[in-house]
Structure 1
């Protein structure tokens, strides 16, 4: 009887440990949602004439052109814009996967899944995508400190408009892009 009791106690301890793990993960969801809502990924065309900023869920937040971009032929400008949008959205997805893994544990292998998918889409290898991701994380602070030589022309907002404060993110119950991302992430049907 003592062996059975010890086995039950061990199972109960294991169950409590799993509950604590779940509690810890749930406690970090609020912080994760906040980080996800603040994602910003910036990409520039190779000649730096087009710059795109993508936000949470890959939403395009801003598009800027230099004077050189405005001199391009329409098909060349379109190609540069589409390529730059793809780069910004891809970086946003990598950042999202990294944040989710940091909060939920790397046993989900989200970053690896994103890198594999992007490697297929961009016709490259996972190793090259990982190197690009590492380069982004180390070079981004230095790039942000440099002054931009971009024109202040924006496709999404007028440069003459005064900067308005950013609205606070909607409550979690409003069905934001981040909430849909998390719901799809944990939906067993996918």
Structure 2
């Protein structure tokens, strides 16, 4: 009988450990969600005439042109804008992959998959894209000095903060088990 009890206690402790592990992972999801909400990526054209700022999911948050960029004509401006958009959206995707990997682990090699896909799509190398990740990811590059303040797009509305985690001190599984053992007394 004592061996059976010891086995049940050991199984219960493993169960509680797995619940704590799941709770820890879910607690990290709130932080990841907040970081993803605040994510910003920026890219400028080689001549500095076009700058694009993107957010989560590659959403375009802002586009800026210099007077020199506007003077180039519609076809040149369009080509420069599209290339800069691709770079900014790609940067946002790389940063998102890094954030997800930091919070959930790298069982699927998410960052490597994103880098390989982008290298093929953009005609570059994984190493070149990886070096861009090593640059300061938290701060977009400074705009060129001759930048006008005219915006093509309106500023994105501020996203609401994520809901606060429950303050009851544990998961539903923990409460259930506490109640189960309290009722046996």
TM-score w.r.t. length of structure 1: 0.72
The verdict on how the C-alpha distance between 1:5 and 1:112 changes in structure 2, with shifts beyond 3 A counting, is farther
| Deviation (angstroms), 1:136 | 4.4
Runs of 4+ in 1 over 6 A off after TM superposition: 1-8
Q: Which runs of 5+ in 2 are unaligned?
A: 164-185
| Deviation (angstroms), 1:20 | 2.1
| Deviation (angstroms), 1:105 | 1.8
Q: Which has the larger radius of gyration?
A: 2
| Deviation (angstroms), 1:152 | 1.1
Aligned counterpart, 2:43:
43
Q: Which runs of 5+ in 1 are unaligned?
A: 158-163, 173-190
TM-score w.r.t. length of structure 2: 0.74
| Pair 1:153-2:153 in alignment | no
Aligned counterpart, 2:116:
116
**Contact 2:61/2:156 (CA < 8 Å) preserved in 1?**
no
Structure (1 or 2) with the greater helix fraction: 1
The verdict on how the C-alpha distance between 1:94 and 1:20 changes in structure 2, with shifts beyond 3 A counting, is same
| Counterparts of residues 16-35 of structure 1 (less than 5 Å) | 16-35=16-35
Hey, what's the Cα distance between the residues in 1 that align with 2:156 and 2:111? 32
**Contact 1:101/1:108 (CA < 8 Å) preserved in 2?**
no
The verdict on how the C-alpha distance between 1:31 and 1:9 changes in structure 2, with shifts beyond 3 A counting, is same
| Counterparts of residues 120-159 of structure 1 (less than 5 Å) | 120-137=120-137, 140=139, 143-144=141-142, 148-157=145-154
| Alignment size in residue pairs | 163
Between stretches 25-34 and 3-12, larger displacement belongs to 3-12
Hey, what's the Cα distance between the residues in 1 that align with 2:148 and 2:77? 16
